[in-house]
Structure formats: C-alpha cells, structure tokens
Amino acid sequence: MSAGTGTGGRAATGGGTGRSADAGTGLPVISRVLPPVEERAAANARMVALLTGPEPGPVAEHLALLHFTGRRSGAAHTVPAGLHRVGGGLFVATGSPWRHNFAGGAPGEITWRGNRSPVRFTLVTDGERTARGYHELYERYGPEAAQRRLGITVDAAATPTPADFRAAVTGIPLTLVAVDLLTASVTNERTSR
C-alpha cells in the first residue's frame, strides 16, 4: 500500500500498519490497539451475560449482541458490538475479522434493548461513506467517548480530519456494517431462557 496525502498535511503510513500519521511528526493520529485475546474474550463473555440477563441496564441502549452464522465455518457466533445511528440508519463500527461474514449481506439476529430481532447485516464497501460515518460519530460523541465507543485511539495532540478517517478506513481497516431490522421483535431475550 502506498502512502496517500489528505487535507491537513497528514498522510497514511504504508505497510498495512493501520494508522494514519501526522506528516509533521510521523506519529499515529488514528490507530486501533486491541487488548490481548484473553482480555477480549473475558470482556465479551461479560457483555454476553449482561446483555442477555434480566436487567441489562443503560448499556443495552448502545450495545447489542450480533447473532450470525460463519460464512465458511457454518458455526453460530454471538458477538457484542456497539450500535450507532448514522444518516438515519443503524450501523456497527468495527475492524474485527468477523465483519467479512457480511460481505454482500447476510441474515442474522440482534439482541438489543432486551429483545432479539431478525436483521440483515451488510458490510459497507464504500470507503468514503465509511470514513464520513466514523468522522460523524467521532464529532457526535466527543474525543473521549468516541474512542471508547468506536474502538479507536486518537493521538491526544491531534484533531482528526476527514482525511485521517479515510486513511484509517483503508489502513486499519475501519468498517461499518449496516444493520437492517426486518420485523418487530420476535423474542424477549430476558424471558426466553
């Protein structure tokens, strides 16, 4: 991948580093640093238990469980993820490998606000649309909450530009997955056990 220059004098670093960098310092502006696998697995297990429990609390407003079948493996997956409103639609913002299951669209379900509903997941392949979505969410949530809710790290000395998000979309990569609700809620997750 070659380096690209955007507005604000920032350029994406090459080599698949998944970082956009300030051309003046070469330091990352947007990156994605994940905790160790064991920590992620433990956190995911806690979120699954919380979101399927009788009292998921306020976290259930912006976190959901995605239920889907692996495209190649055929295995059932349940993944906690943040839900975001962008341009009137509902989206998951992720860079996780499971996003590939949704290329071209795939059926699934979500558990959200205590209800389990059928959905169609579709990986957004338009990089510009994805960058605009991330930038909109970053601006809406503010720097601290956006980093936590979008799973990114932004250099504290920088204010990310649309060009930084475009570089992160192609470099990290950052993606959006559209979540289209198909019908009204089909089961109440709290009482379906």
Q: What is the pLDDT of residues 105-121, one digit of tens each?
A: 999 999 999 899 999 99
pLDDT tier at 4, thresholds 50, 70, 90: very low
| pLDDT level of residue 157 (50, 70, 90 thresholds) | confident
pLDDT in tens, 14-36: 333 344 455 555 556 999 888 89
pLDDT, one tens digit per residue, over 76-98 is 999 999 999 999 999 999 999 99
Would you place residue 2 in the very low, low, confident or very high pLDDT band (cuts 50, 70, 90)? Answer: very low
Q: Which parts of 73-113 are beta strand (E)?
A: 76-86, 89-94, 106-112
What's the mean pLDDT when you consider all of the chain? 84
Q: Residue 188, Cβ neighbours under 10 Å: how many? A: 11
Q: pLDDT grade, residue 174 (50/70/90)? A: very high
Contact between 188 and 126 (Cβ < 8 Å): no
Residue with tokens 């109440």: 188
Residue 121 has φ and ψ, to the nearest 5°, of -95, 135
For residue 184, pLDDT over 60 is answered with no
Which has the higher per-residue pLDDT, 191 or 107? 107
Kindly report the pTM of this predicted structure: 0.81
Strands (E) located in the chain: 10-12, 20-22, 28-31, 63-69, 76-86, 89-94, 106-112, 115-123, 153-154, 175-181, 187-188
Question: How high is the pLDDT of residue 25?
Answer: 55
Residue 104 has pLDDT above 90, yes or no: yes
Residue 3's SS3 state is coil
